[in-house]
Copies of this chain bind each other. A is one copy, B any other.
Amino acid sequence: MDNDILNKIKKRSQTDIENVKKKVIEIINNVKVNKDKALIEYTKKWDNPNFELCNLKVSEKDIKEAYETTPKKIIQKIKEQITLSTRFHKFQRDNIKNWERESEEGIILGEKWTPIEEAGLYIPGGKNPFPTVQQILAVAAKTAGCKRIVSCISPKGKNYEVIIAANECGIKEIYRVGGAQAIAAMTFGTETIKPVQLIAGPGNPYVTAAKILCQEKVSIDMPAGPSEAIILADDSTKNINLKTKATYCAADLLARAEHGPDSAGVLVTDSQELAELTKKEIEYQFDQLERKDYIKKSLLSYCAIIVTQELDDAIDFTNDYAPEHLEILTENPRQILNKIKNAGSVFLGLYNPVAAGDYASGINHILPTGTWANRTSAVGVWTFMKRIQYSEVSKTGLKRLQPIVDCLADIEGLDAHKKSVDIRLDDEVKK
């Protein structure tokens, strides 16, 4: 493959906030000064011309209406999603443990985890509602133990499924406000929306720019960009013939491509035959899909089928790419997993398309994109917690440390630091 094309694929469509920055700074400053008034103005202008202040907070009446008008089957499935994702996040929580150990005689060191008390969730909305995003963020924050959870949902349309997902997770503050203005409101506060300490959730480039620019005052999960997946596959045909495997590869690439014109689905394989079969399958399956426009643009921009000499080359490509999602469709997927250094979420097994994780298996699907998987992790219980480090030092312990403090505080020119140690060990003499 041509190196320029390979670099384009590797670079993919990373969110560039440069173009929207100026506009977003203006929005942030307006919300800082005019608060609720600014939110209402923007929402009227961009989302819903009939929007009033009384619509900002979702009321008990709205929630009742959401349950009354949404088919029971959908409510049931949202509840099942929450059950499964709660299970995953409780596994995570079980693994977050306080610890304490003695380092030397009289020196005990430890850490304890506590929740971030106030968290803000951003739930994007487009043509369709996204209850799946609402539940996964809310479950993570709730399992962490956040005391106050705020959710900003799209003011376009009714969004009943999102309201149900939020309510099922016990969220009491749901606001209808989107875009950069929602991020600014949760960061700086308005008359209606009190500020939070951390904001999590995906969004368009305006939302991402606002999250980055508000980091002076608020903690965020990560900048979000277009969705992406790598499918790492070999020609092994244990329990499956190669044509069927190509069917799965094609379906999964197309699923990634339907997210938007900037999405990326990449098959990387050491099998020329699988590559060719997959290409044919993509053409065949494409015709049966609805979001042809997005898919076509995505296929022509950031999607690719890459054939490598060895499977290890495919693994190297994957680590270098640092994909948001990684499917491993090989003879021994666990062996490959051991070699994976950078990926947001990895899918092992022939019967485990990314969509199973997006919707149902319970893992978190708010993931690092655009190479960020080489430096950060999926949203999870960890996102909504922090460590408090502590130490306990006895007189014996402090005597052990005193020579180090004295010598190095001298070099660093901090004599009051030195004296705060010395005064404790000299006191029997002096007093």
Interface membership of chain A positions 220-254, coded 1 if the CB is closer than 8 angstroms to chain B and 0 otherwise = 00010000000000000000000110011001101
A340 is an interface residue with CB less than 8 A from chain B? yes
What's the nearest-Cβ distance from chain B to residue A367, in Å? 8
Copies of this protein in the assembly total 2
A424 is an interface residue with CB less than 8 A from chain B? yes
Q: Which residue of B lies closest to A103 (CB)?
A: B87
Q: Pick the most buried of A101, A216, A244, A364: most chain B CB atoms within 10 A of its CB.
A: A216
Q: Which residue of B lies closest to A365 (CB)?
A: B389
Interface membership of chain A positions 70-114, coded 1 if the CB is closer than 8 angstroms to chain B and 0 otherwise = 000110011011001001100110110101010110010101101
CB neighbours of A285 from chain B (8 A): 419
* Complexed CA–CA distance, A357 and B33 (Å): 42
Q: Which residue of B lies closest to A411 (CB)?
A: B161
What's the nearest-Cβ distance from chain B to residue A86, in Å? 10
A341 is an interface residue with CB less than 8 A from chain B? yes
Q: B351, A364: Cβ atoms under 8 Å?
A: no
A127 is an interface residue with CB less than 8 A from chain B? yes
A395 is an interface residue with CB less than 8 A from chain B? yes
Interface membership of chain A positions 362-391, coded 1 if the CB is closer than 8 angstroms to chain B and 0 otherwise = 111001000011111110101000111111
Q: Which residue of B lies closest to A423 (CB)?
A: B251
Stretch at the interface among A2-10, A44-52, A55-63, A286-294: A286-294
- A88-B109, A393-B361 known; A398 vs B248 contact (CB < 8 Å): no
CB neighbours of A342 from chain B (8 A): 114, 117, 388
* Complexed CA–CA distance, A258 and B362 (Å): 51
A116 is an interface residue with CB less than 8 A from chain B? yes
A203 is an interface residue with CB less than 8 A from chain B? no
Within 8 Å by CB of A255, from B101, B337, B348, B419, lies B419
